[in-house]
Amino acid sequence: MASSKPIPYGPCQKAAVNVKAGIWCYNCDEGLCSTCLKHHKQFKGTHYHKTIDIKSYKPSIGAIKTECDKHGQQFNLYCPSHLMPCCDVCISMNHAKCTGIKSLASVVENTKIEKSKEIVERDINYILYFLNRLGRKTSKNIRTGENQNISIKKSIREIRKEIDKHLDHLENKLCQEADTIWNQEKSKAKEFISVVKEKMKTMKEMKEHLQTVTTLTSKLQSFLGVHQIEQRVHQCQGYVDDLENDERTNEFDIRMKQNDEIEKTLSKLVSIESFGEVMVVRTETDLNRVTSVRSAAQVESQEQSNINNMTMNIETKIEINMKRFIRDMICLMDGRIIVVEQNGKVHLLSPDGKHEKQLKILVGANSVTQINHNTIAIAYPSEKTITTFNMENERFTNVLTLQKECTCLSFSNDYLAIGLNQDEICITDLEGNTMKIIQVQNLSNMCNLVYCNDRVIYSNCDGNAVYCYDGSGNKIWQYTQDLLGPEGLCTDTYGNTIVADHGSHRIIVISKDGQHSKVLISMEDGLTSPQCISFKHNESSGFICNYAGTYLTKFNLFYG
């Protein structure tokens, strides 16, 4: 839609030539005439610029910056480690140690803009939905608070009125209630005793009759007599069995729950300064806010990388000396690390590997995944539960109860993927509502899984295999080549799977299609018994934890 406002244009205006602009350049953020456009397309620095007909230009759209704010130079490079465009000065000053620097033009060329637009639009819609819902909740809270304020004032007046009127009445009423309850219970107890005595009398009579029919009668009479007595005994036995559910058999205590304020009123009437206290009670509610773990929407999975060009090195080894068998490890968004002992404790480490504390979580955890900046989810196989835990206030926020043991879990796009026993992966929301069930076939329990882009990748240590399934339950690929106890898993931004192969002391990368693999580091590089592997948030570096929990290995991954 054309704008009624004047359209700014560049070269001709600077030369004091009053020519109407017919083209708009988004890169230069100015209008061009036909002559200027011709030169614009010929110059090396501007030939790739995005231009449109001036009638389609919308002035309301904010200017898109193509220059660096700090250094005033054009963006011409892209850092995949920090997921940001850079100028030459940025690279030399702030990204000298970053690997895989690419030309911005090649990244733009390979980026699927429409897919990126859909992702960003989805995020915008979610934020709008979230803020709109938050606004409605707050408005409703205001209306509720207004009604509560009126109710409080009404209650204060009623209290003042009723105290003077009912103090004597309350005493009489409570005494009458005590008499009534006691008389009722006493009557029921006496009635029950009478019934019991009657039954006992009947049983004694049958006992005496039993002796008579078996000693002073013929065999036929004895048989029939015993049979008839037996029938009556069975009836009485049924009565006794039914007493198990008869409340009359329960002991009872008659007690009074005294109102604490009454005692205070009677003992210290003159010291009471107020009927009560008006306060605001704030209840923390789950707003279901989800922080995107992957912010590389525009460049993620734009093409499958050639794993033959991938290399990994060991930067350093950090002693942690837990000396416990380790089951899981993740790098948090803030750089800290969580390490889970096998069916044991959960530890929080600083970004440099120093032990900060043991989280106040029940012993028996087996797997962990991050939900958002403050919340993690922990799987307890023996308890058949998954708990969400707020690390900031160290409180459990929710508990999901399962029907089977949960051996591993992963979180992506608002949903949890849960490995159940050997043959099932369950996809649920954070409230425990099952979205789908993926049936798999294993010889043993799943060790670790990664849920990303509607794919589930999991390792089977005893079966020496790694599997990949889509969200519909179809097996995409199965990898078994040269594996010897695959345990920990993670994926890079291209969708390749990084495997910690415990038995062979190697880190292996499997291509996104599962058809190719490469050993990245091995025992010859100083690696032993890798159990878990995790990337740092939005980085191509991360940590490996060994099985015995003695050290962390910090690695860097390069795409040559």
DSSP 217-252: S-HHHHHHHHHHHHHHHHHHHHHHHHGGG-GGGS--
176-194: pLDDT as tens digits: 888 888 888 888 888 888 8
Residue 21 has pLDDT above 50, yes or no: yes
Tokens matching residue 134? 């938050």
Q: Are 471 and 479 in contact (CB under 8 A)?
A: no
Tokens matching residue 263? 């005692």
Residue 121 has pLDDT above 60, yes or no: yes
Q: What's the pLDDT at 7?
A: 55
241-276: pLDDT as tens digits: 777 787 777 777 787 777 777 666 667 666 656 666
Which has more confidence, 288 or 225? 225
Q: How far apart are the first and last CA of the chain?
A: 46
Q: Nearest Cα to 485, choosing from 518, 508, 468? A: 508
Give Cβ neighbours of residue 203 (< 8 Å, ≥ 6 apart): 233, 236
Residue 551 has pLDDT above 80, yes or no: yes
Q: Are 390 and 375 in contact (CB under 8 A)?
A: yes
468-488: pLDDT as tens digits: 998 888 899 999 988 999 999
Tokens matching residue 354? 């120093």
pLDDT interval class at 292 (50, 70, 90): very low
Q: What's the pLDDT at 491?
A: 94
DSSP state of 7: P
Q: What's the pLDDT at 62?
A: 54
Q: What's the pLDDT at 379?
A: 92
CA distances 486 to 478, 518, 525, 557, Å, are 13, 14, 18, 19
Tokens matching residue 467? 């599997």
Q: What's the pLDDT at 303?
A: 44
Average pLDDT over residues 131-155: 85
Residue 532 has pLDDT above 80, yes or no: yes
d(CA 92, CA 88): 6
Residue 114 has pLDDT above 50, yes or no: yes
Q: What's the pLDDT at 294?
A: 39
Max mean pLDDT range (122-126, 187-191, 345-349): 345-349
pLDDT interval class at 504 (50, 70, 90): very high
pLDDT interval class at 330 (50, 70, 90): very high
Q: What's the pLDDT at 170?
A: 74
d(CA 522, CA 535): 18
Average pLDDT over residues 445-456: 88
CA distances 386 to 132, 225, 383, Å, are 30, 64, 9
d(CA 364, CA 343): 4
Q: What are phi and psi of 437, to 5 degrees?
A: -120, 130
| Helix, coil or strand: residue 197 | helix
Q: What's the pLDDT at 16?
A: 54
Q: What's the pLDDT at 496?
A: 94
Average pLDDT over residues 291-312: 58
Average pLDDT over residues 213-221: 78
Domains of the chain: 1-64 (4.10.640), 117-244 (no CATH), 307-559 (2.120.10.30)
Average pLDDT over residues 287-304: 44
Which has more confidence, 215 or 369? 369
47-105: pLDDT as tens digits: 778 788 877 776 654 567 788 888 889 999 998 878 889 999 998 888 888 888 888 98
DSSP state of 344: B
d(CA 25, CA 113): 18
How confident is the prediction for the chain on average, in pLDDT? 82
DSSP state of 444: S
d(CA 78, CA 101): 6
Which has more confidence, 545 or 230? 545
409-421: pLDDT as tens digits: 999 888 999 998 7
Q: What's the pLDDT at 122?
A: 75
pLDDT interval class at 444 (50, 70, 90): low
Average pLDDT over residues 404-410: 91
Q: What's the pLDDT at 222?
A: 79
Q: What are phi and psi of 445, to 5 degrees?
A: -65, 150
Q: What's the pLDDT at 363?
A: 78
Q: What's the pLDDT at 552?
A: 94
Residue 1 has pLDDT above 60, yes or no: no
